[in-house]
Structure 1
């Protein structure tokens, strides 16, 4: 596949990486205290918050995995995306007021204030282990698959490049660099996805040809209880529990709303992110 890439393609990829690093360097001297570094000075507006929530969620493993699961099991996997729309509103209107009022930087810190130091240490340890095993490793693997297909790098080389690139702008610029990089990535994700959608439809002969080539229940959002992958009972009763944990209590997500200028911007960010979460189904 690498042979199909032109010099212009590689230039575009290089410019993208340079842009990401430039954003990190631009915020390098702004992190004068821990609030600036870990919460972007609590000066982030709703557009950047919403974009960051969306881009943080739609990372490489989500982008590849959602498409793969959808092609195999049908549209029902989109239930998780649309369910997130409602849960993001819970984050903005139920959880965020408590988080902002407490003035905390992290979810473990919130548990310590609410309960005791043991709760903080427990959540910190569990979160770190979970991030390494379920997020970082999978994201690196998915990114490695993509880089292997595009530029021919092996998995280890790809993982090292991804870690160095993301580590540089994150360490240099703190959360502000991460959020505004996410803002750029939001546009890239959406524009790229729209382009791939039209290219894919053209390759299969159009929308009618795609529908004709899939099973009757492929486009059903609600599957019967007997469905091995997405029974409606699991979607209705199980997915909301998982969704509330992920969107409303996970440091990975909540840190974005903690950086808001005020509660209105935090809520506006969750609304904007909810709107963006409608798009992946299409």
Structure 2
């Protein structure tokens, strides 16, 4: 397999970045208002369609953490690393049906707003500052770094700092207008994520099939995994006991949640 990127590979990268950032800036300019408020920024004036909200929800929670970090954990421990998402799906339904209407009725759009109403402005300010620092210096930096490392590896390992700067600028552009921009650009993002995820899965299964001399057959590769590594397809890993091996303990400890 050829691991070197060619002209068309770089062209796809460029088109993708220009398309998303350009579309985000266009939405920002088109919907820009002289005076904006909290509802405009966080709820996009209520103008987002259901499919844009759904796409934004998925795209906002899938990043380099999942494509790189959780893929590595999945290789080590199996699909049990994603088991907590079942609970998240149930929690989202409960929040959407019973909690969100109450928040919207009371014009509460963010967690600091809720804390201000429930307690006082000091508590809201502490929470806002804490989460800003956490996201900027822990969450977002790790995501940008992991994405930069992945792209840097594909491009030959010489442009890490340039890529991180580029990704940072790209992130700023698409967040200029709050949810107005993010909601619509996430439709593009989630489309790319789904296509890229399916393509990556197909290529990985094809490589497994080739490794075992079964030709370029993704289904044969999947069946080989089921046969040789059935424990990787268990959603629930039993709690380790006194007689458990170190490998079983390590797999259990890395599970999220």
TM-score, length-normalised on structure 1? 0.76
Name 2:225's counterpart in structure 1: 210
Gaps of at least 5 residues in structure 1 are 240-282
Name 1:155's counterpart in structure 2: 160
Structure 1 106/31 Cα, relative in aligned 2: closer, same or farther at 3 Å? farther
Q: Structure 2 residue aligned with 1:118, among 117, 122, 125?
A: 122
Which structure shows the higher helix fraction? Answer: 1
Q: CA shift at 1:124, angstroms?
A: 0.8
Q: CA shift at 1:55, angstroms?
A: 0.5
Q: CA shift at 1:3, angstroms?
A: 6.5
Q: Structure 2 residue aligned with 1:136, among 129, 135, 140?
A: 140
* SS of equivalent residue, structure 2 residue 175: helix
Name 2:73's counterpart in structure 1: 69
Question: Structure 1 residue 105 and structure 2 residue 119: aligned?
Answer: no
Q: CA shift at 1:94, angstroms?
A: 2.7
Select the structure with the greater relative contact order (CA < 8 A; seq sep ≥ 6): 1
Give the aligned CA root-mean-square deviation in angstroms: 2.3
Question: Structure 1 residue 39 and structure 2 residue 43: aligned?
Answer: yes
Aligned pairs for 1:238-277 within 5 A: 239=257
Aligned length: 234
* SS of equivalent residue, structure 2 residue 99: helix
Structure 1 5/175 Cα, relative in aligned 2: closer, same or farther at 3 Å? same
Gaps of at least 5 residues in structure 2 are 210-220, 241-247
Do 2:44 and 2:178's aligned partners in 1 also have CA atoms closer than 8 Å? yes
Residue deviations 1:176-224 (CA, integer Å, cap 9, x gap) = 111111111111111111111111111101122222332x422211111
Q: CA shift at 1:230, angstroms?
A: 5.9
